[in-house]
A = this chain, B = another copy of it.
């Protein structure tokens, strides 16, 4: 049977638009000879619609969208879409996260997701009741084992948070299936392609059945979906695959399939493409602004952000503004100019000295006799924030912020200053990876698109004379290594100290600094998530809290001593 994988990019909440495009894609699949086309998880509403699902009229509209699709798909085609449907049971959550098989003239056939991820960025049990059983769907002589995303992830070797007490894939297999079909909304992170391959190959080999997986593509606020849809044969070999980071309708014939080898992907290339997609989607889907503006400091973060923005939107839609102060080096201004010229973007210079002086005069009655410090440094960063936002407000642009994950972790950024903007492009990219991105951008361009001096000079906020990041922070390779273990691998001080060989007190001081800056991240713009644990909705730490690792140590030591006594 000819099947189509619809690696589809819905817009969250745009029910009429998503429904119309679903019909178009179904017609195209039919025209190409498909008997069955499979869309991703929640394809009608986008992932995730969040609390839109709490609105009963929105659910009425979802039902209308499904009915619209049902009426307009071609005769002779089976269409599996993903949608929230009302839970027929009055007890439990009001919705099911469902796969719906639509055929003209036949009632919809519904399968509910059984395993609802409720950790990291996922809040599914907030909205959905788990399905209580899986029924094989008979479709033209084929027994389809339809299930949804997390339903396939319950393997001990891949569980990061916990195992579930049900195994939907095995429950389907026990009923006898000819093919497993998974609808996903599985966001990108460095390792996802390989993890998905590992899981699907394991399941194919264990059960001796082919496996078809269709994932969303596109981005919604912080989440980037890479697609990566594919079919594996009963022996685990990949038989069809969609390109990453773009929409695609991929045909696969279950009777004739040839092996398919996806192009080998490099981590930094993937990261690059994910960020480019994330920027483009944020700007185009919100449709509030056509263009973006970026403060160019001459440093590497703003240079990489600008280069990615140009990839995403084209040079015409990007403006760079340099805002030198008395502490800015000549080199910094020059590097910004060269970068803007290399990228072909509009470029302006707005010196901040006049405004900073006016702030000093205004505050003089209150600041007289005090020593210059963080207050004065922040005034500079905030003056830049106000200038960028003024330009953005005047000319309907969105500001992209440029802070990286290392800075966000350590609070090495100014609220309402360099943190002002609509989207934080690098918020989930450690500084060491920002360097790798810069080098890759230049390699791809075959030239120093990002000036080498921006890459090679020691990083500096340039908020006081001769300031260097390393005055305040450990060297980035050391810092990033510790931060990755703490944030992404969720390890604590003792384990990290043991693994890295750093002193416990040093590791503790870094972890304490991360914790203490939660209040800053609370007010940060959304950031593009490219790791398994970004700041943002996937990491929910209390702001008002007192975790004193020293006191905790002492309590634990006292107990040990009491136990000995």
Contacts and interface: CB of A to CB of B under 8 A. Distances in A.
Interface in A243-302: 281-282, 285-288
Interface residues of A, number: 117
B362 A391 contact: no
A51 B93 CA distance: 24
A409 to B, nearest CB: 15
A378 B389 contact: yes
A57 B490 CA distance: 10
A171 interface: no
B348 A366 contact: yes
Contacts of A493: 57
A534 interface: no
B416 A12 contact: no
A525 interface: yes
Contact of A92 (B55, B164, B286, B495): B164
Nearest to A416: B416
25 contacts: A11-B545, A11-B546, A12-B545, A12-B546, A13-B542, A14-B546, A17-B551, A51-B539, A56-B492, A92-B165, A93-B161, A118-B123, A219-B544, A221-B544, A281-B544, A354-B361, A363-B387, A366-B394, A373-B394, A375-B394, A376-B390, A378-B393, A382-B382, A382-B386, A386-B416
A282 B544 contact: yes
B391 A57 contact: no
Given A359-B387, A386-B359, A394-B370, A163 B420 contact: no
A68 B351 CA distance: 59
Interface stretch (A138-146, A225-233, A553-561): A553-561
Nearest to A348: B366
A544 B92 contact: no
Nearest to A493: B57
A478 interface: no
B389 A61 contact: no
A322 to B, nearest CB: 13
Nearest to A551: B16
Nearest to A127: B119
Those 9 A-B pairs whose CB atoms lie nearest each other, nearest first: A57-B492, A358-B358, A375-B393, A375-B394, A14-B546, A13-B547, A13-B545, A12-B545, A416-B416
Contact of A390 (B16, B379, B490): B379
A78 interface: no
Nearest to A557: B64
A540 interface: yes
B52 A286 contact: no
A466 interface: no
Interface string A190-205: 0000000000000000
Contacts of A490: 54-56
A467 interface: no
Contact of A416 (B92, B362, B420): B420
